Amino acid sequence: MKKIILSTICGLLLASNCGLIIAQPKIVKENVAFADKQLTYSLEQVKAATTDKLNNPRTIKDGKLSMAPSWEWTSGFYPGILWYMYEYTNNPKWLQEARHFTKLTESQQFVTNTHDMGFKMYCGYGNGYRLTGDTAYQRVLIQSANTLITRYNPTVGLIRSWDFNKDRWQYPVIIDNMMNLELLFWATKATGDSTYYHIAYNHAKKTIENHFRADNSSFHVVDYDTISGQSRLKQTWQGYADGSAWARGQGWGLYGYTLCYRATGDKSFLEQAKKIEKYIFSHPNMPKDLVPYWDFNDPDIPNTPRDASAAAIYASALYELSTYVSKTEAKDYLKKADKIIESLSSPAYRSPLNENFGFLLLHSTGAKPFKSEVDEPLVYADYYFLEALLRKNSFAAKR
C-alpha cells in the first residue's frame, strides 16, 4: 500500500484546534457571525418542521421548508454544518446540536442499498469524531465503511452507485461516488486494514479511465458490463445532455481527486484534479463571478439557473488543491477560490438574515431535467460553503 501522506495543515480542517488562527480574514469573520445567527434561526425552523420520519432540512419547496428522512443522501450535511459551527465558535450550543442531529443518522451505518455512505455518515460522524475523538463515532464510521464496500464488484473494479433503472443499466457508477472514497481511506487509517484503501484506490483509477472526455470534462453516469467489466454506456441523469458538463459533477471530480491525492500520494490523482480545474475555469461559459450555470453546455445560457452548490464545492476543493502544487499554481487557485467566496458572500447569493428558513445560500440547482430544486437553497451548498470558509481561514493563518 502506498504511504498515506499527511496534510500540511492538520487534516486541512483543524485550524481552530491546531492553534493556527491568528487573525480571521474579514470575509470569514463576517460570514461566521452571519452563520451563527442564521443557523440559530434555522434550528427553530427545522425543529418546528421535524416529524418522526423527516428530521433534517434539504431545500425550500413551494415556499415551505422541505425536510428529508435519514435515508436520503443529504442527511449528513446538516449535522456537518453544525459541527463546523462548533469548530468555528467553540460554543457548546453547537456541540449539543451537532451531537443531536448526528445521532439521527446512526441507523444508516447498516443500509446497503446506497453508495452515499460518505455523504450521509462522514460529513456528520466524520467531523464529529475528528473534533471530539468520541470512540462511539469511530465505531459507526467503521461499520459504515464495511457497509459501503459490500457494493464493490472486483470484476468491475468499482463501487456500484444506483440500484434503480435495472432495465437500462447493469452497473451504473456516477461521478458523485468519488466523494464517498474519503470514508474508505479513513477506515484504513483507523483500522490498519488495507482492504478499504485498495477498493477506494481502484475505484478512483478506473473512474479516470472511463468517466472523462478528451477535454477533461466528465460524464455523469457510466454503466459497466458486469461480466467483462468494460464500460457500455456513458450518459447523464442530472445534466443537460449525455455529452454535456453538469457543473456540480465537475466539482465532485475536482474535490474527489484532490482528496484521493491527499490519501495516496498518487500523482495521477493530482494531475487529474489539475486537469479538471483547468476545464472548469477556462470554460467560455464560466461567468465572471465564478458561480457556474447549472450545466456548462445548456444552450439557454445566460438565461438559465446558476448552481451555488457547485461553486462552493469548487472553492473548498481549490483551497486544498493549492497546498499540493507550485507557488504559481497555488496563487492562481487561491485567487479563484477567494473570488467564489466573495461572490457567494454577496447579496446576490447569500440569504438575508432570518429568511429562507435559515439556509445560508440561495440559487442552487439540484436536478433541472426533473424540475427538482431549481434555483433554490440546498443544504449541501451551505455545508461546502462553511467548509470552504474554514479552509480559507486555515490558509490565511499560514500565510
Catalytic machinery residues: 116, 176
Contact status, residue 67 vs residue 58, Cβ threshold 8 Å: yes
CA 33/CA 193 separation, integer angstroms: 42
Contact status, residue 316 vs residue 255, Cβ threshold 8 Å: yes
Name the nearest CA neighbour of 390 among 69, 50, 34, 25.
25
CA 386 and chain centroid, separation:
11
Cis before 299 (ω within 30)? no
What's the longest Cα–Cα distance across the chain?
57
Cis before 302 (ω within 30)? yes
CA 91/CA 125 separation, integer angstroms: 19
Residue 281 burial (CB < 10 Å; 0-12/13-18/19+)? Answer: middle
Q: What is the dihedral of CA 21, 22, 24, 25, to 10 degrees?
A: -120
CA 325/CA 311 separation, integer angstroms: 21
- Identify the residue whose cell numbers are 487529474: 272
Which amino acid belongs to residue 393?
N
DSSP state of 246: B
Q: Which grid coordinates are listed for 287?
A: 461567468
| Number of other CB atoms surrounding residue 35 within 10 Å | 23
